[in-house]
Amino acid sequence: MSHVKLVKDDFHFIKEITTRWMDNDIFGHVNNVTYYSYFDTIANTYLIERVGIDFQTSPVIAFIVNSQCSYFSSVAYPDKIVGAFRVNRIGNSSVEYGVAIFKEGQESVSAYGTMTHVFVDRKTEKPVKIEGMLREVLEQALKK
C-alpha cells in the first residue's frame, strides 16, 4: 500500500496521542514496537468512547489475532502525533482495523498498520457474533 495515498481523510476517527521520552530508542526515534502500543490506544479509545465497552467488566472482550505495520517516516519524542482509525472489514466475530500515525500538521502517514480483533466470551474465550451497538459503531467506521 502506498503511503502517499493515505491521508487523514481516509480515516473515520482521529485522536491525539502523546509521545513519551521512553518511546525513543538509541537511534533517537520512536522504536518500531511502540507503534503497536499507539495502534492499541487508538482502536481501544474508539471502542471505549463510541461503544462504551469496559474491557475490565464486559462479558465480551477482544483478542488481537493478527497485526502488521509499515513505516514511512520517523517519529520521535517530543513530536506531537495523532492516531487515525477505521474499519477495513467486519466478519461474524472478527474485525480488521486500519490504524495510522501522523505527525501533527502533516497529511502524509508516518506509519500504517492493520489489527484484527476477534470478539470472544470472557469466560469461555470462544468467538461471539458481533451484533447490536458494537456492530453499528464498527459499521460507522468502515473505510471510505
**Given this model, what pLDDT does residue 2 score?**
47
Enumerate residue ranges in the chain where pLDDT < 50.
2-3
Across the beta sheet with 13-18, the strand order is 13-18, 80-90, 94-103, 111-121, 60-71
143: nearest Cα among 94, 98, 91:
98
All three cell numbers of 100: 495510522
Are 93 and 119 contacting, i.e. CB atoms less than 8 angstroms apart? yes
pLDDT (tens digit per residue) in 98-126 = 999 999 999 899 999 999 999 999 999 99
Are 16 and 85 contacting, i.e. CB atoms less than 8 angstroms apart? no
Q: Which domains does the chain have, with CATH numbers?
A: 3-140 (3.10.129.10)
Question: Whole-angstrom Cα distance, residue 144 to residue 138?
Answer: 13
Helix (H, G, I), strand (E, B) or coil at 47: helix
Quickly list H helices, the chain.
32-46, 132-140
Say if strands 80-90 and 94-103 run parallel, antiparallel, or are unpaired: antiparallel
**Given this model, what pLDDT does residue 61 score?**
94
